[in-house]
C-alpha cells in the first residue's frame, strides 16, 4: 500500500509540472494584460509601461516562465496584484471558507443521497419511490444558481418581509457585521444561519444526483444471491439492507465521491458569488477578470494539485469498501 | 450481533454530526478581527488602537441623539486599491481615500467650488506659477502623529514620480514634478509650483495625503505591494480603519479627534463596507434591512426600491458618460458626414427611456451636467432625425446601389460597422437598439461582445485599432480635458481611439487647457463643443444617472457628482431605529 502511494505521488510530479506549464502559457498568452485593467483617463503609455515593470511583466514570456517555475519549486507562488499580498496568503485566506461550505454541502448530500437512494430501491415502484424521483429530478435539473436565488427569495426576503416568519436566513456573507460583539454562542448560531442557504443550494442539487446513482446501484445488489441468503438466514430486513447490501452498493458511489471531491476545493463559483461567500472560486474568477496573473497561476496550480490528491484518495477508498481490490501487487 | 451493528452505525452517525459541530465551532473561533501578520501591520495597528482609546477617553461623544450606531453600505466589489492613494484610480477606493480614511488638501462643495479641508487656506501667486497652502495644525494621523507639511511634500514626491506609476499621470502635466515641484516653507506651509492652467486645483482635490513617518522608506516602485493599502491603512480622516476581511467587509470607526472646525467626529460610531457581488442579493439585503445603502442599483431595481416605504431612491448625474467611438481610420467612417448621420439616426431618447428606464440625460459632448460650462440649449445639437441622416449619407456618396438595404460607396464598399462592447446587459441592449435604428438608414451594424481587457487591447493597440465602433463608458474628472482623446499630436497614444485630425479642435483644446479664467473660457467651450459636434468622432449617448438605495432610518445622505460617500461624516441613524 505504502509503495503504491509513493509511486503514485512520484508520478504526479511530472504531471504537475506539465500542468504548471500549461497554466502559465494559457494565462500569459491570453489577450489583455494587468495594466490594461487599470485603464483610466489620463493614464499615459509611459504609466502603463512603468506599471508593467513594477508588476514584473517587462521580461519576455520564456524568461518569466523560468523565473516563475523556479520560485514555485521553492514554495514562492509570487505576489497577487489585486490583493497586494503574497499569492499563498490569498489562497490560505479563502481556502478554509470554501472548505467549510463545500464540506457541509458534500457530507449532507452524500448522507441524504445514500439514504434516499437506498429507501427508493428497497421500496421500488411504491408511491414513495415515484414521488421522491419526481422531486429529485426537479432539483437535479435545476441550475444551482437559480435555486440559490429562489432560496434567497423564499427564506430571506419573503420569510422576513412578507410572511414575517420568526426565523429567516441572511442572504449573504459568512458572518454578520456585528460578529465581533456577539457572545460565543451567538457567534456559532450566526455562523450556522449564514451557512444554511448556500449549503442548501449546493447540497440539494448534489443530493439528487447521488440518490439516483444510489438507487440504481442498490437495485442491482439487492437482487443478488448473497442478499437472498441473508434474508433466508432470518435476518431482519433492516440488517440485510444496511449491513449486507449497502456496503456493496456503495462501491460505485465511491467513484462518484472521487469525482466530487475537487468541488471541495474549487467550491461553486456561482454560489459564492450569489451568497457573497468569501471563497476560493470567486477569488480566482475575480483574478481572471483583473488579469492578476500570479494569483490565477498559483490558484490553478493549487486546484490541479488538489485534484491529483483527491483522485489518489478515491483510489485508496476503493480498497476500504471493496475487499477484492488490493494495491500491493499492482 | 446484528443489533450491535445496527447501534454501531447509529454511533457513527452521531460521531459524524459531533465532528461537524466541532468543525463549525472551531471555524467560529477562527474568524473575527483578523489582524494581518505582516510586520508593518503588527507594529502599526496596536499604536492606532492605543491612540483611539486615548482619544476616546479625552473626547467623550457630544450629547446629541444623532451620535451613535453602525451604518452598513453594500457594494458590488472590493475597495480594491484600499487607502493607497499613490497607485489608485478605482472609484470606490478614491472615494474612501477622499472622504473616509484620508484627507485631501482641499475638497469641493456642492457647486464644485474648492473649499478648505486639510489646508485651511491657500494663495495663488500673482503670476499663477505657485500655490501656497497653509495646513491645519489640529489634524492627527490615527496613530497619534501630527499631520504636517512634510507629509504633503512626501505624498507629492511619490505621486509625481514616474516610478510609482500613479495611474492618472495627466494630472501633473502642468505641474513641476518631483521634489523640485514642492517647497516646505515651514512645518505647516507648503508651496507647489506649476504653469498656469485651467482648473488647476482639481488634481490637488483628488489625492489623499499619505503619512511620511510610516511610508517614507517605501521604494516608489513598490507602493502597490505595500500592506498599508488594504491590510492596515493609517489615515487622518474622519474614520479610523479597524479591520478588513477580504471579499467580505471593511470596518471603520469614528475618529474622536477629527477637527471641530471641520465638524468634529462623524455621527455614526461604526461604518461597515460590505462586498456583495450579486445585485439581486444586494437588493434583498437592502429590503431586509441588513444593509442601509445599496450603492448604484441597476435601473430595473429602482422600482422595487421606490415601492418600499422604508427605502428612498437617490438619483444623480455622475461623472460618467457613455458613447460609441467611431474608428475614423476605417474607410466607411472616415467622412464626418457619415459619423454625423450615424448620430442623427440614433434615437437616444428611446435608449434612455427603454434601457435606462429614464435614469439618464442625453449627451452631445463630453461636458457633463455638473460642469460650469454645461449648456446644451446653446449648442447646435444633432437631434434624432433619420430623414436628415439619409440625406447626409446620399450627399456623402453612400447609396444602396444593389437594393439589398445596405448602402454602398461608388467603389462598392458596404456601409457596415461592427459595434463592440464588453459583456454587460445595458451595453448589449444599447448595441442591439442601435443596430435596428441604423438599419433604418441603410447601415448594417453588427453588435459584438468582447471580454473587457481583450477589448481594451483591441482598441488601445496602436497598430491594430481592431474596431469600427465601440460602446464605452468613460469617467471624466471635474476638469474636462479631451486632449488625449482628440488632439492630432496624440494620435500615437492609446486613447486616440477615433483617430480624427481637426486643427480647430486642436487649437481650442490647447487654449481651453491654459485658460484659467472661467469667463474667458466660456466662449471657447462653446466653440469647442460646436466643432466637436460637427466632427462627431463619437456618438455621445447619455450621462447615466447613478442611483443609490437608502434605508430611511439613515438620514442626511447626500450623493452627487462628487461621489456616493461625499458626506458620510454627516450621515446619522434615526435614534429610534438603533
Residues 188-227 of chain B whose Cβ lies under 8 A from any Cβ of chain A: 221-222, 224-227
Residue-wise DSSP of B222-279: GGGG-TTTTT-----SSEEEEEEETTTEEEEEE-TTS-GGGT-S-SSSEEEEEE---H
Distances (CA, A) of A326 to A300, A322, B398: 33, 9, 79
* B282, B452, B493 member nearest A45 (Cβ): B493
Q: Are A281 and A269 in contact (CB under 8 A)?
A: yes
For cell 444623480, the residue is B316
List, as one string, the DSSP characters of B108-156.
E-TTS-EEESSEEEEEE-TTSSEEEEEEPSS-B-TTSPBP-HHHHHHHH
Q: A-chain residues within 8 Å CB-CB of B32?
A: 179-180
CA distance A283 to chain B (A): 8
Measure the CA–CA gap between B331 and B316, rounded to whole angstroms: 39
Contact with chain B for residue A38, Cβ under 8 A: yes
The reply to whether residue A41 touches residue B170, judged by beta carbons under 8 angstroms, is yes
pLDDT < 50 positions in chain A: 330
Contact call for B246 and A39, based on CB within 8 A: no
Is the interface score ipTM higher than 0.85? yes
Residues B457, A42: C-beta atoms closer than 8 Å: no
Answer whether A289 touches B (CB < 8 Å).
Answer: yes
Looking at residue A267, its pLDDT comes to 62
Instruction: Tell me which chain A residues have a C-beta less than 8 angstroms from the C-beta of B495.
Output: 41
* Residue numbers in B near A184 (CB within 8 A): 28
User: Is B288 within 8 Å of A157 (Cβ atoms)?
Assistant: yes
To the nearest whole Å, the CA of B317 is away from the closest chain A CA by 19
The C-alpha of A45 sits at a distance from chain B's nearest C-alpha, in angstroms, of: 7
Cβ atoms B366, B374 nearer than 8 A: no
Q: Which residue has the cell 445595458?
A: B426
Q: pLDDT at position A33, please? A: 76
At CA A278, angle to CA A273 and CA A283, rounded to 5? Answer: 75
- The single residue listed with the C-alpha cell 438599419 is B439
* CA A236/CA A3 separation, integer angstroms: 42
Q: How far is B388 from chain A (nearest CA, A)?
A: 34
Which one of B1, B2, B86, B494 would you mutate to disrupt binding with A, by most A Cβ within 10 Å of its Cβ? B2
Of A48, A84, A171, the CB nearest to B227: A84
**What confidence score (pLDDT) does residue A328 get?**
60
Asked if the Cβ–Cβ distance from A31 to B453 is below 8 Å, we say yes
Q: How many helices (H) and strands (E) does chain B have?
A: 16, 20
Q: Tell me, what's the pLDDT at B15? A: 43
578 residues of chain B, pLDDT tens digit each: 333 333 334 344 444 444 444 444 444 444 444 567 789 999 999 999 999 999 999 999 999 999 999 999 999 999 999 999 999 888 999 999 999 999 999 999 999 999 999 999 999 999 999 999 999 999 999 999 999 999 999 999 999 999 999 988 888 989 999 999 999 999 999 999 999 999 999 999 999 999 999 999 999 999 988 999 999 999 999 999 999 999 999 999 999 999 999 999 999 999 999 999 999 999 999 999 999 999 999 999 999 999 999 999 999 998 899 999 999 999 999 999 999 999 999 999 999 999 999 999 999 999 999 999 999 998 999 999 999 999 999 999 999 999 999 999 999 999 999 999 999 899 999 999 999 999 999 999 999 999 988 898 899 888 889 999 999 998 888 999 899 999 999 998 889 999 999 999 999 999 999 999 999 999 999 999 999 999 999 999 999 999 999 999 999 999 999 999 999 999 999 999 88
Give this prediction's pTM. Answer: 0.91
Q: Does the distance separating the beta carbons of A32 and B477 come in below 8 Å? A: no
Q: Which 231-290 residues of chain B touch chain A by CB within 8 A? A: 231, 245-249, 251, 272, 274-278, 280-282, 284-285, 287-288, 290
Q: Computed over its alpha carbons, how large is the radius of gyration of chain A?
A: 25
Partners of residue B484 in chain A, C-beta under 8 Å: 41-42, 44
- B24/A152 touch (CB, cutoff 8 Å), yes or no: no
Question: What is the distance between the alpha carbons of residues A74 and B427, in angstroms, rounded to a whole number?
Answer: 45
Reference A69, options A5, A25, A10; nearest CA is: A25
Contact: B166, A236; criterion CB under 8 Å: no
Amino acid at each position: 500500500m505504502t509503495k503504491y502511494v509513493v509511486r503514485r505521488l512520484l508520478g504526479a510530479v511530472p504531471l504537475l509540472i506539465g500542468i504548471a506549464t500549461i497554466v502559465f502559457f494559457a494565462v500569459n498568452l491570453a489577450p489583455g494584460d494587468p495594466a490594461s485593467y487599470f485603464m483610466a483617463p489620463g493614464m499615459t503609455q509611459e504609466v502603463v509601461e512603468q506599471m508593467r515593470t513594477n508588476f514584473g511583466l517587462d521580461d519576455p514570456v520564456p524568461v518569466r516562465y523560468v523565473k516563475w517555475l523556479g520560485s514555485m519549486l521553492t514554495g514562492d507562488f509570487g505576489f497577487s496584484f489585486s490583493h497586494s499580498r503574497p499569492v499563498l496568503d490569498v489562497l490560505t485566506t479563502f481556502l478554509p471558507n470554501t472548505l467549510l461550505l463545500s464540506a457541509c454541502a458534500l457530507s449532507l448530500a452524500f448522507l441524504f443521497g445514500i439514504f434516499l437512494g437506498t429507501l427508493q430501491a428497497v421500496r421500488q415502484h411504491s408511491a414513495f419511490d415515484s414521488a421522491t424521483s419526481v422531486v429529485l429530478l426537479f432539483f437535479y435539473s435545476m441550475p444551482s444558481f437559480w435555486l440559490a436565488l429562489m432560496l434567497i427569495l423564499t427564506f430571506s426576503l419573503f420569510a422576513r418581509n412578507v410572511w414575517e416568519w420568526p426565523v429567516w436566513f441572511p442572504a449573504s456573507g459568512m458572518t454578520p457585521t456585528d460578529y465581533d460583539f456577539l457572545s460565543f454562542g451567538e457567534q456559532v448560531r450566526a455562523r450556522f444561519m449564514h451557512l444554511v442557504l448556500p449549503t442548501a443550494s449546493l447540497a440539494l442539487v448534489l443530493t439528487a444526483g447521488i440518490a439516483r446513482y444510489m438507487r440504481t446501484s442498490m437495485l442491482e445488489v439487492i437482487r443478488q444471491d448473497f442478499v437472498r441468503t441473508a434474508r433466508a438466514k432470518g435476518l431482519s430486513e433492516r440488517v440485510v439492507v444496511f449491513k449486507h447490501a449497502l456496503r456493496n452498493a456503495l462501491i460505485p458511489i465511491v467513484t462518484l465521491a472521487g469525482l466530487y471531491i475537487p468541488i471541495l476545493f474549487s467550491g461553486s463559483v456561482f454560489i459564492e458569488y450569489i451568497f457573497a461567500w468569501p471563497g476560493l472560486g470567486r477569488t480566482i474568477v475575480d483574478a481572471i477578470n483583473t488579469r492578476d496573473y500570479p494569483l490565477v497561476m498559483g490558484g490553478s496550480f493549487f486546484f490541479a494539485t488538489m485534484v491529483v490528491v483527491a483522485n489518489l484518495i478515491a483510489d485508496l477508498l476503493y480498497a476500504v469498501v471493496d475487499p477484492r481490490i488490493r494495491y500491493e501487487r499492482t | 450481533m446484528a443489533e450491535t451493528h445496527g447501534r454501531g452505525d447509529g454511533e457513527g452517525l452521531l460521531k459524524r454530526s459531533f465532528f461537524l459541530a466541532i468543525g463549525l465551532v472551531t471555524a467560529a473561533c477562527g474568524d473575527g478581527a483578523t489582524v494581518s501578520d505582516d510586520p508593518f501591520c503588527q507594529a502599526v495597528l496596536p499604536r492606532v488602537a492605543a491612540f483611539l482609546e486615548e482619544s476616546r477617553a479625552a473626547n467623550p461623544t457630544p450629547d446629541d441623539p444623532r451620535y451613535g450606531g453602525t451604518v452598513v453600505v453594500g457594494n458590488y466589489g472590493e475597495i480594491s486599491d484600499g487607502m493607497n492613494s499613490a497607485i489608485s484610480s478605482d472609484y470606490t477606493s478614491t472615494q474612501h481615500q477622499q472622504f473616509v480614511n484620508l484627507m485631501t488638501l482641499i475638497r469641493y462643495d456642492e457647486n464644485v467650488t474648492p473649499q478648505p479641508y486639510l489646508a485651511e487656506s491657500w494663495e495663488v501667486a500673482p503670476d499663477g506659477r505657485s500655490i501656497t497652502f497653509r495646513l491645519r495644525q489640529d489634524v492627527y494621523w490615527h496613530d497619534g502623529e501630527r499631520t504636517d507639511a512634510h507629509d504633503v511634500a512626501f505624498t507629492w514626491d511619490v505621486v509625481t514620480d514616474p516610478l510609482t506609476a500613479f495611474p492618472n499621470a495627466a494630472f501633473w502635466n502642468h505641474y513641476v514634478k518631483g521634489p523640485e515641484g514642492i517647497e516646505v516653507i515651514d512645518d505647516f506651509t507648503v508651496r507647489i509650483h506649476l504653469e498656469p492652467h485651467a482648473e488647476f486645483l482639481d488634481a490637488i482635490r483628488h489625492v489623499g495625503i499619505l503619512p511620511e513617518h510610516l511610508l517614507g522608506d517605501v521604494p516608489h516602485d513598490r507602493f502597490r505591494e505595500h500592506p498599508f493599502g488594504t491590510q492596515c491603512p493609517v489615515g487622518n480622516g474622519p474614520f479610523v480603519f479597524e479591520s478588513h476581511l477580504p471579499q467580505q467587509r471593511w470596518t471603520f470607526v469614528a475618529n474622536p479627534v477629527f477637527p471641530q472646525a471641520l465638524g468634529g467626529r462623524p455621527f455614526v460610531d461604526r461604518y461597515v463596507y460590505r462586498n456583495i457581488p450579486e445585485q439581486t442579493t444586494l437588493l434583498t439585503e437592502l429590503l431586509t434591512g441588513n444593509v442601509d445603502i445599496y450603492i448604484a442599483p441597476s435601473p430595473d431595481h429602482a422600482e422595487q426600491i421606490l415601492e418600499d416605504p422604508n427605502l428612498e431612491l437617490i438619483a444623480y448625474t455622475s461623472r460618467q458618460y457613455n458613447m460609441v467611438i467611431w474608428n475614423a481610420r476605417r474607410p466607411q467612417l472616415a467622412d464626418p458626414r457619415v459619423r454625423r448621420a450615424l448620430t442623427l439616426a440614433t434615437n437616444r431618447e428611446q435608449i434612455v427611456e427603454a434601457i435606462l428606464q429614464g435614469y439618464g440625460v442625453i449627451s452631445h459632448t463630453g461636458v457633463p451636467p455638473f460642469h460650469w460650462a454645461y449648456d446644451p440649449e446653446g449648442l447646435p445639437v444633432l437631434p434624432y432625425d433619420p430623414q436628415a441622416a439619409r440625406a447626409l449619407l446620399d450627399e456623402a456618396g453612400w447609396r444602396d446601389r444593389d437594393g439589398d438595404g445596405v448602402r454602398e460607396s461608388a467603389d462598392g464598399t458596404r456601409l457596415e460597422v461592427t459595434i463592440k462592447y464588453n459583456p454587460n446587459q445595458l451595453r448589449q441592449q444599447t448595441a442591439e437598439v442601435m443596430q435596428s435604428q441604423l438599419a433604418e438608414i441603410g447601415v448594417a451594424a453588427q453588435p459584438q461582445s468582447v471580454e473587457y481587457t481583450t477589448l481594451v487591447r483591441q482598441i488601445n493597440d496602436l497598430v491594430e485599432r481592431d474596431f469600427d465602433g465601440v460602446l464605452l463608458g468613460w469617467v471624466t474628472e471635474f476638469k474636462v480635458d479631451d486632449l488625449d482623446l482628440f488632439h492630432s499630436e496624440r494620435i500615437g497614444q492609446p486613447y486616440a481611439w477615433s483617430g480624427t485630425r481637426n486643427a480647430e479642435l486642436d487649437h481650442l483644446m490647447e487654449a481651453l487647457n491654459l485658460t484659467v479664467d472661467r469667463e474667458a473660457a466660456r466662449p471657447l467651450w462653446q466653440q469647442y463643443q460646436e466643432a466637436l459636434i460637427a466632427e462627431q468622432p463619437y456618438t455621445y449617448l447619455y450621462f447615466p444617472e447613478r442611483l443609490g438605495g437608502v434605508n430611511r432610518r439613515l438620514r442626511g445622505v447626500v450623493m452627487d457628482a462628487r461621489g456616493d460617500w461625499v458626506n458620510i461624516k454627516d450621515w446619522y441613524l434615526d435614534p429610534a431605529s438603533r
